[in-house]
Amino acid sequence: MSHPGQTRLLWIAAIGVPLLFVAIATLQRKMDDTTLAHTSDDEELMLTSGSAVRNISLGYDSLVADIYWTRSVQYYGSRAGVPEAKFDLLWPLLDITTALDSKLTIAYRFGAIFLSEPPPAGAGRPDLAIELVKRGIAANPDNWYLNGDLGFLYYWRIGDYPSAAAAYLQGSKKPNAPPWLGMMAARILEKGGSLETSRMIWSQIYESAQDKTVREKAKEMLLGLRAQEDEQQLDGIAEIYKKRFGHFPASASDLQDAGLVRGVPADPAGYPYVFGSNGESSLDPRSPVVIPPKINPAPAASK
Amino acid sequence: MSATVTPVAINTFREAVRDRVLYNLVLFALIMIGAAILVGEISIGIERLVIINLGLTAISIFGLVMAIFIGVGLVYKEIEKRTLYSLLSKPIRRWEFLVGKYVGLLVTLAANTAFMTLGLAAALFYVGRRFERSDLSILGAIYFILLELALVTALALFFSCFSSPMLSTLYTLAIYIAGVFANELRTIGDFTQNPALLVLTRTLYYLLPNFHNFNAIATAAHGDAIPFSLLWQNTLYAALYVALLLLAAAAVFSRRNLK
Amino acid sequence: MSTPAIEIEGLTMDFPVGFWRKRMRRSLDNLTFQVDEGEVFGFLGPNGAGKTTTMKLLMGLIFPTSGTARVRGRSIQDVAMHREIGYLPEQPYFYDYLTARELLDYYARFSDYSAPERRERVGKFLARVGLAAAADVQLRKFSKGMLQRVGIAQAILHDPPVVILDEPMSGLDPVGRREVRDIIQALKEQGRTVFFSTHILSDAEMLCDRVAVLAGGKLQGVGAPGAVVGIQAPAMEILFEAREGLALPAGLAEHATRIGGRCRVEVPEQDLYGALEQLRGVQARILSVSPVHPTLEEYFFRLVGGPAASRGLEEISR
């Protein structure tokens, strides 16, 4: 090619190539915007069985397990808190993860919390959670954390106190198990669904959690439980107020003025409690604290 | 014998080192290990697990690629390019030539693996700032990867003695994949009612190299110890199988008319 | 009588051909001859005659269908015998990622030299083949002629008593060929045996004590170059002036060639005087009379011109 011709081509390329890139990027952006509008929430999982995935992994199961674990966390994280969110794929993802690496304890523990958590914060399938954790216990017989998780599930999600106690008891027998497992078993058998027991369970989860999401959930629960305790106490004080003044307090500051409490009773988020006409205390509607729903204990007959 | 095998081995090593493709592969593997650090950021608490998984998998895969890629050309290239003619005019036996090529490639693979292991160690150190006793199982997993590579190289060398690189790659890959699933093959056979199928699957199971034995990546990732018995058993298995393959290769090659 | 340097006896080589490899092609048919120690022996023949095949058989690169061969009394199956042979393959290729020096050093390791000895030898032989300047250049940058020289160097570096060279002159310019001729001559003076194949017949005539001619896988003749071609009766060449309008005698006219103002005619020796008389009879002016030495080339072409030889193939169907 002649010299001037070659230089011209270089110039055209120097200008044209970046321009074309810009054009391509703009087009891609446009395409993404339109498809995003049409995107439904449906994410596809092509392979749903653990053994199918294991066959594809060609022996590199451990790494593929990590990939599926990452997917599980992202799947949950992108949907948590979104109204009307569904978590249909959480179970298959965790199922595959643990099938590929049965020693990935963090996956069992994650599933225990978020598979069982009712929507919109979880999949609402305590049965699957229990199955997952049981699998985890079978594959990791020395891991007492998982027994704690199983106990949590029976206690908190299903209200099956005898099974819960049994799970904690079994955990307490494992090597290096801390004493609180045994104590928990005894406590549940003794006191059933008391607030204090619940608080102990969530405290343990908070302390032993390896995953950030799980820890935050536990914290949320603990704050809610504290609010519940506060409310119980406040109801009692409201009764005393009524006896003294002949009517229920109208607000939390009434109690303070009456000298019954020191400072204005406020929830962990700082919002003062409000009182209803029947004297029952409750959270300020603007408060972010959530009181966990009460689980009624299951009938005695259980697995 | 070593007077003839050693120069061939050294020359094979030198050829691999001067082949620029190798550097690209090693660089790529190091990038993978760097990526492992990034990926580990996603889940706190299992950073180490992910780094080890990704690192060991990268070392294994790239080792395999190199073993096959170079291995299938070991003998074929020398025949095609006729470099073998002048070499065989020296007082060297054909099987000595084969062993020399094999050892040369093995040393190359070992050197590359060692290099990549250093990269992995650096990544782990960067994340954890210290090493634990349980990290020793990583070395065990890497040793097993090397044994695996020794086996695959011997396979590739064997095919290189009589078939073209493309076909040799296919054969070697096919046997490798079959070897990874050797256990599954056996399970299928156990479940079947057909006695003929049982015998077939059993025979295949014992004939194929069982690569599952050598996979200790998960063990290393979880910091579990590798049992000593597995160490020497795998070594013996690899040694026997390699001897078998080299013997077969020597036999095939000894009577081959070079074009 | 001392052991011959190379003994070939009944060597036969069949190759399978065809898609299904069922038919056999015989590329060497019952070859028998020997090369004596200390002689320079030329191996001649057209392409495809089987010369390279023979040499590959000697080096153990291929295996004979039948027949035996020995080098210095030892069977060709004996790899240790290779210590005493230097071999230059046809169209040599070498590891292109090595330099000339590294290559020679590599090959030298198969002989028992100490490292300093090796270094010295490599340098010496690089100079001998004229590659001292390119010693540290990678072989992938070498021209064909340079590769040829490296090939010769590696063949003689370990001072083997028997040197086997397959087309040592190929790829070399006249200067290079001269150098190779000198090397072969020097080897001979050292008392070594040189067995080489070549197309350049004048080289063979110049260098060889004896030659063997191969065509179509069969040995056509063995002996001193002169003797081989001396099968023909000697002839005489007459050069004379060809005037315009000269009428040549009938018998000579067919065999005369005209070049410019001269004519040339070849006649068998015994007919010389008869032809001279005839020419004098037509008043042709005789310029010269000289004997024609039938060259190897003519012999060669006569050979190649023959039906069986030029095909170079003989199929034996199975």
Flag whether residue B95 sits within 8 Å of chain C, measured between CB atoms: no
Over range A130-154, report the average pLDDT: 93
| Cβ pair A210:B42 closer than 8 A | no
Which residue in C291, C290, C313, C310 sits closest to C300, CA to CA? Answer: C310
Instruction: Give the pLDDT confidence of C18-72 residue by residue, as tens digits.
Output: 777 778 888 999 999 999 999 999 998 887 788 999 999 999 999 999 999 999 9
Residue A251 pLDDT greater than 90, yes or no: no
- Its pTM stands at 0.79
Closest chain A residue to the Cα of B54, Cα to Cα:
A63
Q: Please tell me the predicted confidence (pLDDT) of residue C161.
A: 95
Flag whether residue B195 sits within 8 Å of chain A, measured between CB atoms: no
* Across A204-208, A251-255, C94-98, C105-109, least confident range: A251-255
Over range C110-137, report the average pLDDT: 92
Instruction: Give the pLDDT confidence of A26-63 residue by residue, as tens digits.
Output: 888 888 777 665 555 556 677 777 778 888 888 899 98
Q: Which long-range contacts (CB under 8 A, 24 or more apart) does A181-184 make?
A: A181/A144, A181/A147, A181/A148, A181/A151, A184/A148, A184/A151
Calculate the CA A58 to chain-centre distance: 33
Q: How far is A226 from chain B (nearest CA, A)?
A: 28
Residue ranges and CATH numbers for the domains of chain A are 50-217 (1.25.40.10), 220-282 (no CATH)
What does the block give as tokens for B64? 């395999």
Residue A299 pLDDT greater than 60, yes or no: no
Its CATH architecture, for the domain C235-292, is: 2-Layer Sandwich (3.30)
Residue C317 pLDDT greater than 50, yes or no: no
Between C234 and B85, name the one with better pLDDT: B85
Between B56 and C258, name the one with better pLDDT: B56
| DSSP-assigned letters across all residues of A62-128 | HHHHHHHHHHHHHHHHHHTT-TT---TTHHHHHHHHHHH-TT-HHHHHHHHHHHHSPTTSS---HHH
Closest chain B residue to the Cα of A59, Cα to Cα:
B180
Listed in order, the ranges of chain C carrying CATH 3.40.50.300 are 6-229
* Across A8-17, B12-21, C179-188, least confident range: B12-21
| Cβ pair C63:B257 closer than 8 A | yes
| Cβ pair B218:A210 closer than 8 A | no
In this structure, are strands C235-241 and C262-268 parallel, antiparallel, or unpaired? Answer: antiparallel
C244 in Cβ contact with C55 (< 8 Å): no
Over range A157-169, report the average pLDDT: 89
Residues of B in contact with A210 (CB under 8 A): 44-46
Q: Please tell me the predicted confidence (pLDDT) of residue A35.
A: 66
Tell me which residue in A63, A101, A210 faces B45 most closely, judged by beta carbons: A210
Residue A230 pLDDT greater than 50, yes or no: yes
| Cβ pair B60:A60 closer than 8 A | yes
Question: Do the chains C and A touch each other, judged by at least 3 C-beta pairs below 8 angstroms?
Answer: no
| Cβ pair B257:C61 closer than 8 A | yes
Q: How far is A177 from chain B (nearest CA, A)?
A: 19
Residues of A in contact with B177 (CB under 8 A): 58
In this structure, are strands C218-223 and A274-275 parallel, antiparallel, or unpaired? Answer: unpaired
Tell me which residue in C15, C87, C93 faces B89 most closely, judged by beta carbons: C87
Listed in order, the ranges of chain C carrying CATH 3.30.70 are 235-292
Residue C315 pLDDT greater than 50, yes or no: no
Q: Please tell me the predicted confidence (pLDDT) of residue A141.
A: 92
Residue C314 pLDDT greater than 60, yes or no: no
Residue B19 pLDDT greater than 80, yes or no: no
In this structure, are strands C218-223 and C210-215 parallel, antiparallel, or unpaired? Answer: antiparallel
Q: Which CATH superfamily is domain C6-229 in?
A: P-loop containing nucleotide triphosphate hydrolases (3.40.50.300)
Tell me which residue in A59, A65, A101 faces B180 most closely, judged by beta carbons: A59
> Cis ω on the peptide bond leading into residue C291 (within 30° of 0)?
no
Q: Please tell me the predicted confidence (pLDDT) of residue C313.
A: 35
For residue A215, the number of C-alpha atoms closer than 13 Å in the C-beta half-sphere is 10
Closest chain B residue to the Cα of A57, Cα to Cα:
B180
Calculate the CA B71 to chain-centre distance: 10
B236 in Cβ contact with B228 (< 8 Å): no
The C-alpha atoms of residue C107 and residue C117 are separated, in whole angstroms, by 13
Q: How far is A59 from chain B (nearest CA, A)?
A: 6
Q: Please tell me the predicted confidence (pLDDT) of residue A42.
A: 57
Flag whether residue B82 sits within 8 Å of chain C, measured between CB atoms: yes
| Cβ pair C59:B88 closer than 8 A | yes
Instruction: Give the pLDDT confidence of C174-186 residue by residue, as tens digits.
Output: 888 888 899 999 9
Q: How far is B91 from chain C (nearest CA, A)?
A: 5
| Cβ pair B93:C79 closer than 8 A | yes
Instruction: Give the pLDDT confidence of B62-74 residue by residue, as tens digits.
Output: 899 999 999 999 9
Tell me which residue in A59, A63, A66 faces B212 most closely, judged by beta carbons: A59
Flag whether residue B42 sits within 8 Å of chain A, measured between CB atoms: yes
Over range A196-206, report the average pLDDT: 84
Instruction: Give the pLDDT confidence of C261-285 residue by residue, as tens digits.
Output: 788 888 887 788 888 888 888 888 8
Residues of B in contact with A66 (CB under 8 A): 39, 46, 49-50, 53-54
